[in-house]
């Protein structure tokens, strides 16, 4: 896990000092070393910050040079040993034990198709001097970032926005409409297409490669994976599918335990992280110490302690716990906003930030986590609508366990034009839609509802909020120099799930039915058969009442309040919250997060020295 950066020019000399400044701003991503490589004509400089995980020897330091090929790489190729064995049979010889050299050899063997062999999370840039091209690639789900700009005579890339924004000529202007749409409909995300919140900065979308011509800087992109289901054979029974899935998930965990430094797990009281801890224990055996890291909210309904205790009793980990508190969030809001680079949609991301820091404080550099299972396997109760729409069998259990998922009736006023809805809400002082607090109309292009469950899961996994959640995970973990690995985003799992009948996923009123069935006898039933667990969410209402509301009030009254927000509406929302209208909590948090980001990221970047990318 690392930070990567580089600048390529077709005709002029690159300022190596600019690349060094870019990687310096990302030192948190790689505190174990720094590297810089410049090609002989001075028209390409690659930079790297290293977090040593696999083969921490100097031989695997980056940028990794192998003859005419140079690589700067962020992430891990989990199946590097299997690929290495295959490449050895094809005549390749290796000088290191790491995965960076595997990427170089795979490029030599298979060219652009090399990424199809990789099981991992990655973003890399590979310079091929003989072909005079820069080959850039990003993993299938977009776990690792790849941001870039096309400047006047140069192409620059980096792992984080702050690195690119330090370049002269790269504007930090924000597309306010896109920002507003994110707050109104966060499920649409900011992370799935080429555009970003900054018009000057673009990104390589997940599951894409991009070739940059070294002579002309012309770009060519291609998608290498779409999540299509694995080839179908005989339809398995549910027990057979669950058995096969358990082996597949266990293998995903096994691959992600590969490391030359300590590995642990996040542990909440939910099905996903608990399943990973149980499978990791089976893989490691009882004698190997295994550390888990949890966030607790004692004395509130958000506390997951009893469920964590049940998993711990079955797996005997070395437990570590932290209690995120609102006063600490307020004290750390500047650092938290700087680390995340974009506004944060929920206070739950601060809790995640605290758990990752706890791991680093205890000497664990790699964590397994359960992110992605809800979107890939049908973990949200709202998926029951798509399940039934596509022919899934109705069941009384759906209505008894998840009745709200099917009884939500669209109020008449939601069908009014946005401007009229806003006027009505302001007149009667009701409503919690954050769009009411915006100064202008925010037009959301509503996609038609998914035709079936598989479409809903594929959409959310590959073109929905999961991408934003992965960005949060990347920034929050990297802020503390911790690598997070996600077994459920093993691409084989999505392909497998997409090929199964929907009854195996949400039949009999069960979310994530396949996972629950597969974990029978492995995961304590107290967790396995738990219904209506809603993520790792702090008591946000209590946090506002206890500590955060004065900060929101201060932000609303600041003369520098973003023109995005209608000050009068938010004054009213604060009054209503104080009077007991807790539906305002989510909006109040979003305003605080946005204004903190403007002050602690945008303004902080504006005050920094800019570097000329070219000499």
Q: What is the pLDDT of residues 305-341, one digit of tens each?
A: 999 999 999 999 999 999 999 999 999 999 999 999 9
Same domain, 300 and 194: no
Same domain, 362 and 327: yes
- What pLDDT score was predicted for residue 187? 72
Same domain, 293 and 168: no
The domain boundary residue, chosen from 481, 509, 528:
528
Burial class (CB within 10 angstroms; exposed 0-12, middle 13-18, buried 19+) of 474: buried
Q: Which of the residues in the chain have pLDDT under 70?
A: 1, 189, 407-419, 444, 534
Give dist(CA 335, CA 601) in Å, integer: 9
Q: Are 97 and 167 in contact (CB under 8 A)?
A: no
First to last CA, the chain: 30
Torsion over CA of 408, 413, 418 and 423, rounded to 10 degrees? Answer: -140
The DSSP symbol for 544 reads I
136 an active-site residue? no
The CATH number covering residue 111 comes to 3.60.20.10
Q: Which residues pair with 322 in a beta bridge?
A: 295
Same domain, 181 and 259: no
> Which of 222, 54, 58, 195 is CA-nearest to residue 137?
222
The domain boundary residue, chosen from 528, 556, 573:
528
Tell me the three state secondary structure of residue 483: strand
Please, which residues have CB within 8 angstroms of residue 231's CB and are 6 or more apart in sequence? none
The DSSP symbol for 195 reads B
Counting every residue written for the chain, the total comes to: 615
Domain-embedded: residue 500 = yes
Burial class (CB within 10 angstroms; exposed 0-12, middle 13-18, buried 19+) of 427: exposed
Same domain, 27 and 151: yes
Per the structure block, which two tokens stand in for 607?
Answer: 């005050």
> Which of 107, 148, 189 is CA-nearest to residue 8?
148
Q: Which domain holds residue 90?
A: 2-223
Same domain, 251 and 134: no
> Which of 79, 128, 121, 72 is CA-nearest to residue 100?
72
Query: How many separate domains does the chain show?
Result: 2
The verdict on pTM exceeding 0.85 is yes
Q: What is the pLDDT of residues 330-370, one digit of tens each?
A: 999 999 999 999 999 999 999 999 999 999 999 999 999 99
Q: Which residues pair with 222 in a beta bridge?
A: 209
The total of other beta-carbon atoms located within 10 Å of residue 367's CB is 28
- What pLDDT score was predicted for residue 410? 55
Same domain, 246 and 215: no
Same domain, 281 and 169: no
Phi-psi region for residue 61, left (φ > 0), alpha (ψ -120 to 50) or beta?
Answer: beta
Same domain, 260 and 302: yes
- What pLDDT score was predicted for residue 414? 59
Binding-site residue positions for L-glutamine = 99
- What pLDDT score was predicted for residue 411? 57
Domain-embedded: residue 55 = yes
Please, which residues have CB within 8 angstroms of residue 131's CB and are 6 or more apart in sequence? none
**Distance from chain centroid for Cα 262:** 22
Tell me the three state secondary structure of residue 548: helix
Domain-embedded: residue 548 = no
Angle of CA points 108, 110, 113, to nearest 5°: 130
Same domain, 219 and 365: no
- What pLDDT score was predicted for residue 407? 63
Domain-embedded: residue 150 = yes
Angle of CA points 366, 317, 325, to nearest 5°: 70
Sheet architecture: strand order including 208-213: 64-66, 69-77, 120-128, 133-138, 208-213, 219-223
- 75, 77, 309, 341, 374 from 476: Cα distances, Å: 15, 21, 26, 10, 20
Same domain, 218 and 243: no
Same domain, 179 and 255: no
Burial class (CB within 10 angstroms; exposed 0-12, middle 13-18, buried 19+) of 182: buried
Contacts 24+ apart (CB under 8 A), 446-453: 449/385, 449/386, 449/389, 450/386, 450/389, 450/390, 451/386, 451/389, 451/390, 452/386, 452/387, 452/389, 452/390, 452/391, 452/502, 453/378, 453/383, 453/386, 453/387, 453/390, 453/392, 453/502, 453/505, 453/506
- Supply φ then ψ for residue 424, to 5 degrees: -65, -45
Q: What is the pLDDT of residues 262-310, one digit of tens each?
A: 999 999 989 999 999 999 999 999 999 999 999 999 999 899 999 999 9
Active-site annotation holder among 2, 266, 278, 594: 2
The domain boundary residue, chosen from 528, 553, 579:
528
Domain-embedded: residue 412 = no
Domain-embedded: residue 404 = no
Q: Are 437 and 566 in contact (CB under 8 A)?
A: yes
Domain-embedded: residue 370 = yes
Domain-embedded: residue 298 = yes
């Amino acid at each position: 896990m690392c930070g990567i950066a580089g600048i390529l020019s077709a005709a002029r000399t690159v300022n190596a000092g600019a690349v060094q400044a870019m990687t310096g701003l990302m030192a948190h991503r790689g505190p174990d070393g720094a590297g810089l490589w410049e090609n002989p004509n001075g028209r390409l400089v690659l930079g790297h910050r290293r977090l040593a995980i696999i083969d921490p020897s100097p031989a695997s330091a980056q940028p990794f040079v192998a003859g005419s090929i140079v690589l700067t790489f962020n992430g891990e190729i989990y199946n590097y040993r299997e690929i290495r064995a295959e490449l050895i049979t094809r005549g390749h010889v290796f000088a290191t034990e790491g995965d960076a050299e595997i990427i170089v050899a795979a490029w030599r063997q298979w060219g652009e198709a090399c990424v199809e062999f990789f099981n991992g999370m990655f973003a890399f840039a590979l310079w091929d001097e003989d072909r005079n091209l820069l080959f850039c690639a990003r993993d299938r789900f977009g776990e690792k970032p790849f941001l870039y700009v096309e400047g006047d005579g140069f192409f620059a890339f980096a792992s984080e926005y702050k690195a690119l924004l330090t370049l002269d000529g790269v504007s930090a202007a924000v597309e306010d409409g896109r920002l507003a749409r994110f707050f109104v409909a966060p499920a649409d995300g900011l992370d799935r297409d080429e555009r970003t919140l900054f018009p000057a900065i673009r990104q390589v979308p997940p599951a894409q490669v991009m070739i940059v011509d070294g002579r002309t800087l012309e770009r060519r992109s291609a998608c290498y994976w779409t999540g299509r289901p694995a080839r179908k054979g005989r339809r398995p029974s549910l027990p057979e599918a669950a058995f096969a899935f358990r082996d597949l998930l266990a293998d995903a965990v096994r691959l992600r335990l590969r490391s030359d430094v300590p590995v642990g797990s996040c542990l909440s009281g939910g099905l996903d992280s608990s399943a990973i801890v149980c499978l990791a224990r089976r893989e490691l055996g009882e004698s190997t110490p295994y550390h888990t890291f949890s966030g607790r909210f004692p004395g509130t309904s958000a506390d997951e302690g009893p469920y964590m205790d049940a998993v711990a009793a079955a797996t005997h980990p070395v437990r570590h716990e932290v209690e995120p508190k609102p006063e600490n969030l307020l004290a750390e809001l500047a650092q938290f906003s700087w680390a995340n680079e974009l506004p944060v949609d929920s206070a739950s991301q601060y809790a995640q930030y605290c758990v990752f820091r706890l791991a680093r404080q205890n000497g664990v550099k790699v964590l397994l986590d359960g992110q992605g299972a809800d979107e890939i396997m049908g973990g949200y109760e709202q998926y029951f609508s798509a399940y039934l729409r596509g022919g899934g069998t109705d069941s009384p259990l759906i209505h008894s366990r998840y009745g709200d998922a099917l009884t939500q009736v669209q109020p008449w006023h939601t069908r009014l034009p946005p401007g009229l809805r806003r006027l009505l809400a302001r007149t009667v002082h009701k409503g919690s839609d954050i769009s009411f607090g915006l100064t202008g109309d925010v037009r959301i292009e509503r996609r038609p509802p998914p035709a079936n469950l598989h479409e809903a899961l594929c959409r959310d996994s590959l073109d929905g909020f999961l991408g934003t959640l992965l960005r949060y995970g990347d920034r929050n973990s990297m802020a503390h120099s911790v690598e997070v690995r996600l077994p459920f985003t093993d691409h084989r799992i999505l392909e497998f799930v997409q090929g199964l009948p929907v009854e195996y996923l949400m039949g009999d009123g069960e979310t994530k039915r396949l996972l629950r069935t597969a974990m029978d006898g492995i995961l304590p039933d107290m967790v396995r058969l738990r219904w209506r667990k809603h993520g790792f969410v702090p008591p946000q209402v209590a946090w506002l009442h206890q500590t955060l509301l004065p900060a929101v009030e201060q932000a609303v009254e600041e003369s520098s309040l973003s023109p995005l927000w209608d000050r009068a509406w938010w004054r009213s929302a604060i009054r209503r919250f104080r009077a007991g209208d807790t539906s305002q909590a989510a909006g109040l948090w979003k305003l605080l997060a946005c204004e903190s980001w403007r002050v602690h990221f945008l303004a902080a970047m504006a005050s920094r020295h800019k570097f000329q990318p070219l000499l």
